[in-house]
Amino acid sequence: MSQENRLHALDAARAFALLLGIVLHATMSFFFFMPAQDPSQSTTMAVTFYVIHVFRMSLFFLLAGFFAHMVLHRRGMRAFVKDRAKRILAPMTVGWLLIAPPTIYIVIIGMTKTFGGQAAAAGGAQIPPGFPLTHLWFLYYLCIFYVIALGVRAAFVRFVDPKGTLRARIDGVLRAGLATYAAPLLLAAPLFAVLYKDPAWMMWFGLPTPDIGLTPKLPALAGFGTAFLLGWLLHRQVEVLEVFRRQCFVNLAFAIGLTVFCLSLVGLKPNMMALTTLDGPAWSRAAYAGAYTLSIWYWVFGLTGLALRFFDNPSPARRYVADSSYWLYIMHLPVVFGLQVLLMDLPWHWSLKFPFIVLVTLAILLVSYHYLVRPTFIGGVLNGRKVSRRSKAGRGVTSPAPAAAAQLDPNPIDKKPAVLEKVTKRFDTTVALDGVSLAVEPGEMLAVLGPNGAGKSTAISLWLGLLEPDGGSVRVMGASPLEVTSRLEVGVMMQDVNLAPDLKVREHIAQTASYYANPLSLDEALEFSGTTPLAGKRYGKLSGGQKRQVQFAVAICGRPKLLFLDEPTVGLDVEAREAMWRAIRKLMADGCSIVLTTHYLEEAEALADRVAVLAKGRLIATGSVEEMRSLVTRRRISCRSGVDIDEIRGWPGVVEVLRDGNQVRVTAFDAEGVVRRLFVADSALSHLEVRQASLAEAFTELTKETA
Amino acid sequence: MNTNVAIIPAAVTRPAPMPLLALLRTYATEAKYETLNGLRNPAFAVPFLVIPVAVYLLFGVVMVPADIEPQWRNYLFSGFSVLAVMMPAIFVGCMGIALEREGNLLKLKRALPMPAGANLVAKLLTSMIVSSMAMVPIAIAGLAIGQLTLSLSQVLILELVMILGTIPFFTIGFFIGSVASGSAAPAYGNIVFLPMMWLSGLFIPLPEFLEPWTVVWPAFHLNQVALASAGVSEFSWFPPGMAVAVLVGVAVLFGGGGVWRVARVG
């Protein structure tokens, strides 16, 4: 597994730990009195809380330690301190100022409602004294761990272990411990000692959350500190993570077994009257503390392994969620608590309220993330980078062209009917258009040619406003094609379109004509497109060619000044094709600009003023049909002669020689030279003809070069 | 003298925006042809018009025990009316847009200068028209042989609320259609419609454990709003204001989601 893939997996695990916090807090009102006690109480919710609480923050601190070591080693001490100040210290301070007051206010309201009349007394008594860090305590402890880690590291490097032998030995012990499933025994020891000895330990609530008071709490330092340290050490030998991946199911089995055991001792719901004692034999307190602290590690290892096993590939959706999780977690508490307090008056069952709270919270916070955070400086602070929303350049906003260029160009850019300017468009990893600049001049027909996959339809779709470019600008009628107004003088004939089958031809034309300000009358449109005999027929009953004619009628019925025709004559018989060509020429004579895409090069040759050839997303040639043909220097010579073709093949400049009876066909670069030699070789030759290459030949030649 | 003068007149000028009146005409034309296309297709329209009134006659009139309390007949009438509006609403929404997407027609319309909302409004009006057509026979049957204790004006208010209530169901269908393909859309529509029909408690008694769950279905809320508006208080289990809020929320959520999809992906 590559280093990058491991990071994807660990990032997903970190986001999972944070987002589970939203679920955790959303369960609280259904088995506990804070922030409010819901009338619908649930053991399921209590167990959900219990299980999540076992491992969630330890998993988070393990990953935090891992990433801290990574940032320190990738970017150096100075950058590390700066980065942590920006992404941890600043959000903690600002977040606390914004979030703590409403959260505390909501908790007071909720507890007042819960405890009714004796609210002030009872509720006040339930809120312990001390500085309320709220759920942002984790940022405070992160800062403490950073300071300790940097200090201890400096001591090791300078005094204790300048040669690194001790550190290498620690790495070895860790490897061995992890490989034999024994590491949790060692890792659980500090927390076990602290909790077992603490007579005030509220056992059901496991590792006490240090959310009140600025003095660091011993259990949190022992439990989360160990996790942070382990994460830090793991990044020293990243390949060890492979063990988690391999052992993930065994670790999870241990975790589940131990948690079930713990619940059997302590009960499925907290017993508020006896939080610090256990019923049962004397050994049960030690057994519970041991099983609980061990289970923390098996959960953390199992879940990390699960992430490495299943989320070790990059996924844009997961990346988005991971990026958003920090914001979601920081902001969620007042929303979750607020909803719990609001919903406590409703007679709904908890199984309804709980998902409702989680979903509404996620919806509110994701929307706020997408619009307020991701594209703004807040996203820059929280995620270390700001993600710009769709590039504004694509919306028809262009930097003004230099004045000199504007004067030289007879039709400055906003006077051209359709313009692509340095347009780039990607689909996932494929580059469909790569910096293409192409414009349609007023009143001309531009044929866009290219082999399949060259980027023709992407170019047309951009002009039609169906796609937005990743870079560069697209203009139609002087503005972005995304605006309806830009398209008011545009007509379109696409490929593979099924118009509504049960409408009559006449109705189709009337429907589309209603989109335009000054359309042709129904009769004019029918006549112009040669569809008068079809007017009363349902579209679904027409033949393929007739459908094409109707689509042409629909395209021209709005009196367009710019018309897009995509393979207009496919499926038409010769007569209908000639009729459509006549109609198209008439449109051009009236000043309509046309963009034609076709595979049928004779059509482009017969109609187009100018040709643009695309290949592999680049514009490889543009010019008049004549210019394009002359780009290909080969010419065709045909004559009647008896000269041996093998002899001709040996002449300079000859590409190909064919004989058909006494007819000889030669393709050559130097046509004059070949003709001279032909006369020398056979003075009796007749029917001599020299011809420039056709557009089809030019096209083949051009696109072959880029292939 | 600039030699380019001859070319400049041919250059483009920015088109003027559509005048408001013309814009309204566009919306009306679009709705007219949308409805026409729908009604001309019997396979599309007939089930919506026939099934609700048929099941109402069977289960809401004929098979009702004679000794039932009279207000339950009102409740059944209201429940089957919800069925009559939500069925066309969901399926007009999902089939219409899914077929248009599949046939590239939506793409063509997006490229044409069709005003952005015209297609959506046209489909919504179509579904409201079909819903009304499905509901009128139920109203007639109810008043004639349903032994309702509701007054004519109560029935009319109920009908009116139902027609407005088409909107959230249409947006659900529209959202499905904006995500699913033409052939899959009816299946997805049924996945939403069938459970909602039974689990909203519109016309069959539900087992006790399912009763609190009726509130997740918009159909339940429409029924509550309609009954409350018509002044029927016996069956009010949910604050009507909240029910309206739920329906508006559903409409905004799914309508917004559908428009977002259609505007970007087509």
Is pLDDT at A4 greater than 80 in this prediction? no
The rounded distance, in Å, linking the Cα atoms of A260 and A268 is 10
Q: In this structure, are A636 and A620 located in the same domain?
A: no
Mean pLDDT, residues A422-441: 88
Last residue of a domain, one of A597, A628, A659: A628
pLDDT of residue A412: 54
Q: What is the percent of chain A where pLDDT is above 70?
A: 92
Which residues in chain B have Cβ-Cβ distances shorter than 8 Å to A487? 111-113
CB contact under 8 A, A485 and B4: no
CATH number of the domain within which A561 lies: 3.40.50.300
Q: For residue B204, give the amino acid letter.
A: I
Q: In this structure, are A587 and A653 located in the same domain?
A: no
Q: Are B101 and B17 in contact (CB under 8 A)?
A: no
Mean pLDDT, residues A608-618: 88
Please report, to the nearest 10 degrees, the dihedral formed by the alpha carbons of residues A623, A626, A630, A636 taken in order: 150
The residue segments making up the domain with residue A698 are 632-706
B153 exposure class (CB count in 10 Å sphere: 0-12, 13-18, 19+): exposed
Which residues in chain B have Cβ-Cβ distances shorter than 8 Å to A491? 112
Domain count, chain A: 3
User: Does residue B22 sit at the A interface (CB-CB below 8 Å)?
Assistant: yes
Is pLDDT at A385 greater than 70 in this prediction? no
pLDDT of residue A129: 66
Lowest-confidence segment of A388-402, A461-475, A680-694, B131-145 by average pLDDT: A388-402
For chain B, the domains span 20-264
Question: Per residue in A226-244, pLDDT tens?
Answer: 999 999 999 999 888 989 9
The rounded distance, in Å, linking the Cα atoms of B260 and B256 is 6
Q: In this structure, are A36 and A183 located in the same domain?
A: yes
Cβ burial B22-32 (10 Å sphere, 16+ → b, else e): ebeebbebbbb
Q: In this structure, are A347 and A442 located in the same domain?
A: no
Last residue of a domain, one of A628, A659, A683: A628
Q: Are A285 and A278 in contact (CB under 8 A)?
A: yes
Q: In this structure, are A695 and A560 located in the same domain?
A: no
B 122-181 residues with CB < 8 A to A: none
For residue A524, tell me if it sits in a domain: yes
Whole-Å CA distances, A25 to A10, A32, A335, A361, A427: 23, 11, 10, 11, 40
Question: Per residue in A432-461, pLDDT tens?
Answer: 899 899 999 888 999 998 888 888 889 999
Q: In this structure, are A63 and A51 located in the same domain?
A: yes
The rounded distance, in Å, linking the Cα atoms of A612 and A625 is 9
Instruction: Pick B33's closest partner by Cβ from A491, A507, A591.
Output: A507
Closest C-alpha to A413, from A400, A422, A395, A424: A400
CB contact under 8 A, A510 and B33: yes
For residue A600, tell me if it sits in a domain: yes
pLDDT of residue A263: 93
User: Does residue B237 sit at the A interface (CB-CB below 8 Å)?
Assistant: no
The rounded distance, in Å, linking the Cα atoms of A150 and A73 is 12
CB atoms within 10 A of CB A579: 17
Q: In this structure, are A305 and A281 located in the same domain?
A: yes
The rounded distance, in Å, linking the Cα atoms of A371 and A674 is 70
**What DSSP state is assigned to residue A133?**
-
The DSSP bridge partners found for residue A439 are A419
Q: In this structure, are A698 and A559 located in the same domain?
A: no
Is pLDDT at A397 greater than 50 in this prediction? no
Which residues in chain B have Cβ-Cβ distances shorter than 8 Å to A460? none
Confidence band (pLDDT; 50, 70, 90) for A8?
confident
* More reliable by pLDDT, B161 or A161: B161
Which residues in chain B have Cβ-Cβ distances shorter than 8 Å to A512? 112
CB atoms within 10 A of CB B189: 23
Question: Per residue in A73-82, pLDDT tens?
Answer: 888 888 899 8
B 193-212 residues with CB < 8 A to A: 212
Is pLDDT at A252 greater than 90 in this prediction? yes
Is pLDDT at B9 greater than 60 in this prediction? no
Q: What is the percent of chain B where pLDDT is above 90?
A: 39
Taking CB atoms and an 8 Å cut-off, how many pairs form between chains A and B? 124
**How much is the mean pLDDT over chain B?**
86
The C-alpha angle with vertex A270 and arms to A269 and A275, in degrees rounded to 5, equals 155
pLDDT of residue A65: 96
Confidence band (pLDDT; 50, 70, 90) for A294?
very high
Side-chain half-sphere of A233: how many Cα atoms within 13 Å?
A: 19
Tell me if residue B116 falls in helix, strand or coil: coil
Closest C-alpha to B230, from B147, B152, B146, B140: B152
Which residues in chain B have Cβ-Cβ distances shorter than 8 Å to A485? 14-18, 113
C-alpha A44: how far from chain center: 36
Q: In this structure, are A552 and A681 located in the same domain?
A: no
Strands (E), A557-617: 562-566, 593-597, 610-615
Q: What is the percent of chain B where pLDDT is above 70?
A: 94
**What DSSP state is assigned to residue A42?**
-
- Maximum average pLDDT range among A396-400, A410-414, A478-482, A692-696: A478-482
Confidence band (pLDDT; 50, 70, 90) for B138?
very high
Helices within A401-455 (DSSP H only):
403-408
Which residues in chain B have Cβ-Cβ distances shorter than 8 Å to A496? 104
Which residues in chain A have Cβ-Cβ distances shorter than 8 Å to B14? 477-479, 485
**What DSSP state is assigned to residue A132?**
B
pLDDT of residue A394: 35
User: Does residue B26 sit at the A interface (CB-CB below 8 Å)?
Assistant: yes
Q: Output the DSSP codes for B159-224.
A: HHHHHHTHHHHHHHHHHHHHHS-TTTHHHHHHHHHHHHHHHTTSSSPPPGGGGGGGGGSHHHHHHH
Q: Tokens 């160009």 correspond to what residue?
A: A409
Q: How is the beta sheet containing A663-668 ordered, strand by strand? A: A654-660, A663-668, A635-640, A686-692
Lowest-confidence segment of A303-307, A600-604, B32-36 by average pLDDT: A600-604
Q: Output the DSSP codes for A98-131.
A: HHHHHHHHHHHHHHHHHHGGGIIIIIHHHS--S-
Q: In this structure, are A555 and A534 located in the same domain?
A: yes
φ/ψ of A231, rounded to 5, equals: -60, -45
pLDDT of residue A705: 62
pLDDT of residue A64: 95
Mean pLDDT, residues A1-20: 87
B 84-123 residues with CB < 8 A to A: 102-105, 107-108, 110-116
Shortest Cα distance, chain A CAs vs residue B150, angstroms:
30
User: Does residue A417 sit at the B interface (CB-CB below 8 Å)?
Assistant: yes
Q: In this structure, are A247 and A151 located in the same domain?
A: yes
Q: For residue A469, give the amino acid letter.
A: P
CB contact under 8 A, B41 and A349: no
Angle between helices A43-84 and A137-155 (to 10 degrees): 50
For residue A79, tell me if it sits in a domain: yes
Is pLDDT at A7 greater than 80 in this prediction? yes
The DSSP bridge partners found for residue A593 are A562
For residue A398, tell me if it sits in a domain: no
Shortest Cα distance, chain B CAs vs residue A492, angstroms:
7
Last residue of a domain, one of A353, A383, A413: A383
Q: In this structure, are A543 and A579 located in the same domain?
A: yes
Whole-Å CA distances, A620 to A105, A298, A463, A705: 67, 61, 19, 10
> Pairing relation of β-strands A490-493 and A610-615?
unpaired
A 425-454 residues with CB < 8 A to B: 442-443
Mean pLDDT, residues B116-140: 90
Instruction: Pick B107's closest partner by Cβ from A466, A512, A562.
Output: A466
Interface test with A, best of B12, B36, B220 (most A CBs within 10 A): B12
**What DSSP state is assigned to residue B156?**
H
Q: Are A585 and A572 in contact (CB under 8 A)?
A: no
Q: For residue A427, give the amino acid letter.
A: F
Which residues in chain A have Cβ-Cβ distances shorter than 8 Å to B241? none
Is pLDDT at A128 greater than 70 in this prediction? no
Which residues in chain B have Cβ-Cβ distances shorter than 8 Å to A500? 33, 37, 105
**What DSSP state is assigned to residue A591?**
T
Radius of gyration of chain B (CA): 22
CB atoms within 10 A of CB A18: 24
CB contact under 8 A, A510 and B10: no
Question: Per residue in B59-95, pLDDT tens?
Answer: 888 888 888 888 889 999 999 999 999 999 999 888 8
Structure ipTM over 0.90, yes or no: no
Question: Per residue in A643-695, pLDDT tens?
Answer: 888 888 888 888 888 888 888 888 888 888 888 888 888 888 888 888 876 77
* More reliable by pLDDT, A692 or A470: A470
Which helix (H) or strand (E) is A424 found in, with range? Answer: strand A418-427
Tokens standing for B255?
Answer: 């309508």
φ/ψ of A600, rounded to 5, equals: -95, 95
pLDDT of residue A33: 87
Tokens standing for A641?
Answer: 């002669």
Mean pLDDT, residues A13-33: 94
Question: Per residue in A296-355, pLDDT tens?
Answer: 999 999 999 999 998 888 788 888 898 899 999 999 999 999 999 999 888 888 999 999
For residue A397, tell me if it sits in a domain: no
Instruction: Pick B108's closest partner by Cβ from A416, A492, A501.
Output: A492
> Pairing relation of β-strands A490-493 and A445-449?
unpaired
Q: Tokens 């996620």 correspond to what residue?
A: A362
Confidence band (pLDDT; 50, 70, 90) for B266?
low
Q: Are A447 and A604 in contact (CB under 8 A)?
A: yes
CB contact under 8 A, A515 and B114: yes
CB contact under 8 A, B105 and A591: no
Tokens standing for A196?
Answer: 């077992």
Shortest Cα distance, chain B CAs vs residue A117, angstroms:
27
CB contact under 8 A, A515 and B212: no
Shortest Cα distance, chain B CAs vs residue A512, angstroms:
8
Interface test with A, best of B39, B108, B221 (most A CBs within 10 A): B108
Closest C-alpha to A194, from A169, A222, A157, A216: A222
Please tell me the pTM assigned to this model: 0.59
pLDDT of residue A374: 83
The rounded distance, in Å, linking the Cα atoms of A639 and A641 is 6
User: Does residue B216 sit at the A interface (CB-CB below 8 Å)?
Assistant: yes
